Amino acid sequence: MDIQPLIEGQYFHIYNRGVNSENLFKEERNYYYFLQQYKVYCADVLETLAYCLLKNHFHLLVYVKEHVEVPRKDGPGMFKMNASKQLGHFFNSYAQSINKAHKRTGPLFESPFERKWVDNENYLRYMIYYCHHNARHHDFVKDFREWPFSSYEAIVRNDNTLVAAEKIIQRFGDVAAFEKAHSLFPEDEKLDQYSIEYV
């Protein structure tokens, strides 16, 4: 099976689920820890446009940053960071923490993690809506805005701590346009080909 490389300067939908559909998030604090570790391992190499975390799977919409170099820890010079490797380190770190806390062994995530190249603006916008509506789609909430583990509220608040909220709002024009576009999303089925279904 050919694995799509994460190309610098391009947008990607990254997603995965627990092995055998096992829950990735055993308790509420796990969601926050996942996001904390994601920022530690991946903020240097990925710009995050949207995300949603749902019990046994997650979705990330990201831009792969270009030419990211950091000082070497083992000597002089610079080290070029690799987005795929950083994601791998992140997933391993999170899995080890969950295994230790819940006395489990073995892999937590399906491997390799899934990724799809987002190659046009319509697809990009669709994935933003898709991420934010995912909790409603899976019947965790009646109103997608009530789900605390997506990037929707952070973007509305222009909170750039984890997501590129300001850049997303600029894409839509303003916050009101961003909110309106999300309210119209269920009526638009033209891009269902891009949907990813996990159960």
The answer to whether residue 104 is domain-embedded is yes
The answer to whether residue 199 is domain-embedded is no
The answer to whether residue 162 is domain-embedded is yes
pTM: 0.90
Please give the Cα distance from 136 to 91 (Å, whole number): 26
Give per-residue pLDDT as tens, 75-122.
787 878 899 999 999 999 999 999 999 999 999 999 889 999 999 998
Count up the domains in the chain and report the number: 1
The answer to whether residue 6 is domain-embedded is no
Tell me the CA end-to-end span of the chain in Å, nearest whole number: 23
The answer to whether residue 4 is domain-embedded is no
Q: Give the C-alpha distances (Å, rounded to integers) separating 75 from 70, 79, 82.
A: 12, 10, 19
* pLDDT the model gives residue 189: 53
* pLDDT the model gives residue 161: 95
Per-residue pLDDT of the chain (199 residues; tens, 9 = 90+): 567 889 999 999 999 999 998 999 999 999 999 999 999 999 999 999 999 999 999 999 999 999 887 777 777 878 788 999 999 999 999 999 999 999 999 999 998 899 999 999 989 999 999 999 999 988 999 999 999 999 999 999 999 999 999 999 999 999 999 999 998 876 445 545 555 555 4
**Residue 51's CB: how many other CB atoms inside 10 A?**
24
The answer to whether residue 157 is domain-embedded is yes
The answer to whether residue 113 is domain-embedded is yes
The domain of 108 spans 11-194
The answer to whether residue 93 is domain-embedded is yes
| 144: CATH | 3.30.70.1290
* pLDDT the model gives residue 58: 96
Please give the Cα distance from 109 to 98 (Å, whole number): 11
| Crossing angle (nearest 10°) for helices 175-184 and 121-137 | 70
SS (H, E, C) the chain: CCCCCCCCCCEEEEEEEEHHHCCCCCCHHHHHHHHHHHHHHHCCCEEEEEEEEECCEEEEEEEECCCCEEECCCCCCEEECCHHHHHHHHHHHHHHHHHHHHCCCCCCECCCCEEEEECCHHHHHHHHHHHHHHHHHCCCCCCHHHCCCECHHHHHCCCCCCECHHHHHHHHCCHHHHHHHHHHHHHCCCCHHHCCCCC
* pLDDT the model gives residue 72: 78
* pLDDT the model gives residue 70: 76
Amino acid of residue 198? Y
